[in-house]
Structures are given as structure tokens and as C-alpha cells.
């Protein structure tokens, strides 16, 4: 068992990048396993059906999407900074992608029809001086669906 734990590769997201600009930012970090099958095994979620329908399915889906985004950006010639935001009031934005001096906010939901009110969390960036770009909710919908002028539902299979 110790040899399995020793080989687990993971990527730690940095604490909130804009902590100095947002008073309520939390200093915690979040571990994202690039080998999520190993983390599923270590968590005793052993079958595909259990992962898809179990109590932790949303967490594993979020981990999968973030790992795939990280892998996509690591092979891309474009460089970006990925981080997340969580504050002391339990508001959380799953991913900030900083690219070309723009911040793109992304939420991840394991649903085909997530609540559009999730994008209200993105208003935390209004307190900063950073420019925001297009963002949205990565979910299990079939096609890209606009939510408002800057955000949309994004099918997870596009990443």
C-alpha cells in the first residue's frame, strides 16, 4: 500500500491568487489528483458504477475535469495560470484561468442542467481591478448554451 501512495501524482492549486485584493479569501490549498483512478482506489470507490452514482461522484467529476484542463494546458503552447477561490464565507469558484491578462471563471457541476445562479459567485471579481473574460459552468450538457453575455454552459467533453 505504501508503494501505491508513494507513486500518486498530484497537483496542488495555489491559495487564492488575489488574496491581497479580496479581504475574505481563504489560504487553504486544494489537492487535485492527476491519477484520479488511484485516488478512487485509495478511497475504496472501486467500480465505475460506484464512481458515477456514489456520494462522491461530484468530487471525482470535478477532479477529472480539472485534471483534463491541466493536461490540456500543459501540452498547449499557450501558458496560463490555473487557481481556485474559496473564502471564509464558504463561497467557492472551482477554477480561475488567467490567460492574456484576463481571468476566466469556471464552475464545475455534475449535472446536465445546473442552476444558472452559480455564476453569481463570479461577482467576487468585481471587487478587484482584474479584467474578466468569458467564463461559465462546465457540466454534462450536450452543447454550448449561453447563460448571459459573458458566461455559458460548457459541455465537459469539449475539454
Q: Do 29 and 19 touch, CB atoms closer than 8 A?
A: no
Task: Show the domain range for 139.
Answer: 2-158
Residue 30: the pLDDT is 57
Condensed to tens digits (0 to 9), the pLDDT of residues 64-103 reads 888 888 888 878 887 788 888 877 777 788 888 888 888 8
CA separation for the pair 13, 85 (Å, rounded):
10
CATH number at residue 63: 3.40.1350
Whole-model pTM: value is 0.75
Total count of domains within the chain:
1
Return phi, psi of residue 95, to 5°: -145, 135
Condensed to tens digits (0 to 9), the pLDDT of residues 108-122 reads 999 889 998 999 888
Amino acid at each position: 500500500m505504501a508503494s501505491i501512495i508513494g507513486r500518486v501524482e498530484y497537483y496542488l492549486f495555489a491559495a487564492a491568487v488575489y488574496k491581497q485584493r479580496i479581504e475574505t479569501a481563504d489560504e487553504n490549498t486544494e489537492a487535485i489528483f492527476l491519477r484520479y483512478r488511484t485516488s478512487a482506489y485509495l478511497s475504496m470507490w472501486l467500480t465505475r458504477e460506484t464512481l458515477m452514482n456514489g456520494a462522491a461522484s461530484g468530487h471525482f467529476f470535478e477532479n477529472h475535469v480539472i485534471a483534463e484542463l491541466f493536461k490540456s494546458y500543459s501540452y498547449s503552447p499557450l501558458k496560463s495560470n490555473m487557481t481556485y477561490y474559496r473564502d471564509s464565507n464558504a463561497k467557492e469558484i472551482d477554477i480561475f484561468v488567467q490567460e492574456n491578462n484576463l481571468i476566466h471563471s469556471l464552475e464545475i457541476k455534475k449535472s446536465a442542467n445546473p442552476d444558472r445562479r452559480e455564476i453569481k459567485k463570479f461577482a467576487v471579481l468585481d471587487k478587484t481591478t482584474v479584467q474578466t473574460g468569458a467564463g461559465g459552468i462546465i457540466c454534462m450538457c450536450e452543447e454550448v448554451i449561453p447563460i448571459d453575455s459573458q458566461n455559458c454552459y460548457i459541455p465537459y467533453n469539449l475539454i
